[in-house]
Amino acid sequence: MSSTVTKLCVLISGNGSNLQAIIDAIAAGRLNAVVSGVISNRPNAYGLERAADAGIEAICLDHTDFDDRASYDAALRAQIEAFGADCVVLAGFMRILTPEFVDAFAGKLVNIHPSLLPKYKGLHTHQRAIDNGDEEHGVSVHFVTPELDGGPVIIQCRVPVFEDDVASDLAERVQEQERRIYPLVLGWFSAGRLSMRDNKAILDEQELPETGYANE
């Protein structure tokens, strides 16, 4: 890994609590990286304010301004390259990315997903877990591939589901773990310990298991 500090370009769509966890970890000296820029596809994302408060360049690239996914992703790629990125960090980014975009950042594009993949790919994961009567749920950090939420898992964390849970209760319990594990994974990446090879996640030259619970 070069002596320069790892540049993280963070993509958001909403509140930005994972972005804030990354900003806080960097400020506390727990993550050796810099956020080179923040991009939101939604103008009202509170995460844009979080970035501005931290003195980080932040812009809205509104997907509704584009005719199709391919043109949006081309503009998104150009903006990321303008900011500079050793790693593109999806942090609550709610747009499905084209294969061309994903391939342009292969191996340095990660996402945090609120379920124990491969369960509950897609949206509304907490409500689906509750509706199914699951006793456990959780979060996965994975490399992004063209297959939606199908990329190699890097780390997972489990949380209990309680009988009286509503989706927001479960989301809060999951997000508490998200804020803990995302800076951890990004630290592995910035230290040159984490990579993706042959569609597998590799940590310290060891292939990571398909499901690996961080709180075991």
Ligand X SMILES: NCC(=O)N[C@@H]1O[C@H](COP(=O)([O-])[O-])[C@@H](O)[C@H]1O
Active site residue 113: yes
Nearest partner of 155 among 119, 179, 182, 191, judged by Cα: 182
Whether 95 has a binding-site annotation, put simply, is yes
134 in Cβ contact with 161 (< 8 Å):
yes
Q: Which stretch binds ligand LMY7XDAE (CB under 6 A): 44-52, 92-100, 167-175, 207-215?
A: 92-100
Distance separating alpha carbons of residues 14 and 166, to the nearest angstrom: 20
Distances (CA, A) of 47 to 60, 106, 124, 204: 10, 25, 20, 32
Query: What is the closest distance, in whole angstroms, from the C-beta atom of residue 56 to ligand LMY7XDAE in the complex?
Result: 21
The binder of ligand LMY7XDAE chosen from 80, 91, 97, 196 (CB under 6 A): 97
- Is 111 an interacting residue with respect to ligand LMY7XDAE (CB under 6 A)? yes
- Give me the amino acid identity at 106: A
| Residue 14 makes contact with ligand X by CB under 6 A | yes
> Which among 130, 195, 202 is positioned nearest to 167, based on CA atoms?
130
Assess 144 for contact with ligand LMY7XDAE (CB under 6 A). yes
Q: What is the DSSP letter of 213?
A: B
**Among residues 43, 148, 160, 166, which is the contact residue for ligand LMY7XDAE, using CB under 6 A?**
148
Which residue ranges make up the site for ligand X (CB under 6 A)? 12, 14-18, 47, 91-92, 112-114, 175, 178
